[in-house]
Amino acid sequence: MSNFGATFRKAREAAGLPLEKIAAETRISTRFLLAIESEDFHLLPGGIFNRGFVRAYAAHLGLDPDQAVADYSRVSAASDEPLEVLRDEERASTRRAERSLYPIAAAILIILVVLYYIVNRGPSAKPPAPPAPVAAAQETPSPPAEAANAPIETPPEPTAVPAATPSGQPAPPNGPALTAAPASTAPASTPAPVLATPKPPAVADQSKTTASNPAASTLVLDVDVKEATWVHITADGTVALNDTLSPGATRRIAAEKSIDITLGNAGGASLKINGRDIGPLGGSGKVRELKITPENASRIQ
C-alpha cells in the first residue's frame, strides 16, 4: 500500500473527525471513505465518481484536491484487477441470488393453484327438493261415474182426493188435481281447485368464490437518467440495482417497507416517488444518499 490512503487517514485523525460526521457533511458513504483510506478502489463505483469522492474528501480534510486526484490516478493505475472485472463478478453474484429465488416462487405458485382448485371444486350445496303440493282442505267430492249415469227416478203421481159436497157426498171428479213434483236433478260436481306448485327457493351457488386483489406496493420509485450516473438501490433490504446508467435510461423499483438509493451523480438523474416528481437530488458530480419509507414518501424534496 502507498501513502495515498494513509495521508487521508492521518489528516482525519489529526482533525479528530469521525467517519460518520464526514459522511454526513460530504454525502459520501462511510464505506467509500474507508475504501479511499485503505486504497480498496475496487469498492468505489468507478469512473468520474471516484475522482469526485477523492476531491470532496480531500477538500473536507484541508488537503490539496488537485494533488489528491493526481495521486489517486497514479495509484489506481497500478491496481491488479480491473474495475470492470469486479463489476461483472458483482453482477453475476446478484443474478445467482435472483435465480435461487425462482424455485421458491414456483413452489408457492403451485401451492396457490392447488388451494384454488380445492376451494372451487369442493362439493356444492344441493338445492332442497320442492315440497309436495298440499291437497285442498275442503274439496267437494265428485259423484261417482255410476251415479252420474243412473236414470232419474220420477216420483209416483199423487192420487186426487174428491172434494166433499154439502150433502156429505163426494163430488165427482173433474180431473185429477195433481201437485207438481219438483224435478229431481243430479248433484253437480264441483271442479277441484287448481293448486299452484310452489317453486323451490333459489339457492346461491356456494362453489364460486371471489378472489381478492393483492395489495399494491406502497412505494414506487421511477429513475430517469439525464447524465451518466452510478445508481445503487436496495428495496426492502434486497439489492435491486447496482450499475452505471447511461443517459436516457429509466428504471422502476417497487417496495413495501423502504427503498435506499445512492446516486454518484445527483444532478444526472430525476426521481419520481409514487408518481410525484421530486426532480434531481443535487448538483452534477455530487453524491447523494436517500432512504424512502411510506412515512416520508410524500415529504421528500
Contact status, residue 286 vs residue 27, Cβ threshold 8 Å: yes
* Secondary structure (DSSP) of 184-227: P-PPPPPPPPPPPPPPPPP---TT--PPPPPPPPSEEEEEEESS
pLDDT at 136: 40
pLDDT at 233: 93
Q: Which CATH class is domain 3-80?
A: mainly alpha
Contact status, residue 5 vs residue 34, Cβ threshold 8 Å: no
Average confidence (pLDDT) over 220-226: 92
Residue with cell 220420477: 154
208 has pLDDT over 50: no
pLDDT at 174: 47
279 Rama sector, left if φ>0, alpha if ψ -120 to 50, beta otherwise: left
pLDDT at 122: 58
**Distance separating alpha carbons of residues 163 and 108, to the nearest angstrom:** 119
**Distance separating alpha carbons of residues 280 and 58, to the nearest angstrom:** 25
Residues above pLDDT 90, as percent of the chain: 31
Across-strand partners of 290?
A: 261
Backbone angles phi, psi at 61, to 5 degrees: -90, 0
Quick: pLDDT tens for 136-152. 444 444 544 444 454 45
**Distance separating alpha carbons of residues 3 and 141, to the nearest angstrom:** 124
- The pLDDT confidence band at residue 132, using thresholds 50, 70 and 90, is low
Contact status, residue 174 vs residue 218, Cβ threshold 8 Å: no
Task: Enter the pTM of the model.
Answer: 0.32
Residue 241, classed as helix, strand or coil, is strand
- Residue ranges of the domains in the chain? 3-80, 85-124, 216-301
Quick: pLDDT tens for 37-74. 988 989 898 888 999 999 999 999 989 999 999 989 88
**Distance separating alpha carbons of residues 152 and 143, to the nearest angstrom:** 15
**Distance separating alpha carbons of residues 59 and 82, to the nearest angstrom:** 27
Quick: pLDDT tens for 71-105. 898 888 765 455 555 567 777 777 887 787 888 99
